[in-house]
Amino acid sequence: MTSYTKRLALVLGILPVWIADTSIASEDGHHPHHIAISGGAAWHNDESSAFLGVDYAYRFTNDYLVGAFAEEVRGDFDIGAFGLILGRYFGDGWKVGTGPGVETKLKNNKNLFLWHESGGYDWHHGNWSFGPVVS
């Protein structure tokens, strides 16, 4: 990994991971379709890598969602992951999600079961929502 990539991974890892959702408002007030893009850094022992993730969630009521995620980590170690998300919204924008997935160690093509958990907050502005997420 080059020193530039390590610095970029460090900067992205220090900054909060912000999620940007594009949404389409429905008549009953909730935004049913969310596409989220996140980035950051991943560390394992003394190795670091850049992280990119994409989530899709369908909010079928004001309180519940179902969706999928895909993540890729590239750098000192390379990992790909994908899976399902089931979640719930609470109050005025708080959300949690969880679900099963598969992690692939790309260098040796080894697949592992994973369990994805996330939490965050959405601020809505028109058909957009923004907010931090921890995954």
Q: Which residue has the tokens 């008549």?
A: 27
Mean pLDDT taken over the chain: 76
**pLDDT tens, residue by residue, 64-104:** 889 999 989 888 888 899 999 999 988 777 889 999 999 99
Task: State the DSSP string of 21-62.
Answer: EE----TTS---EEEEEEEEEEEETTEEEEEEEEEEEEE-SS
The percent of residues above 90 in pLDDT, for the chain, comes to 19
pLDDT the model gives residue 85: 93
Nearest to 1 by CA among 108, 53, 10: 10
Nearest to 17 by CA among 89, 121, 111, 109: 121
**pLDDT tens, residue by residue, 10-69:** 444 444 333 333 344 444 455 677 777 888 887 778 888 888 888 888 888 778 889 999
Asked whether the predicted pLDDT for residue 3 surpasses 60, the reply is no
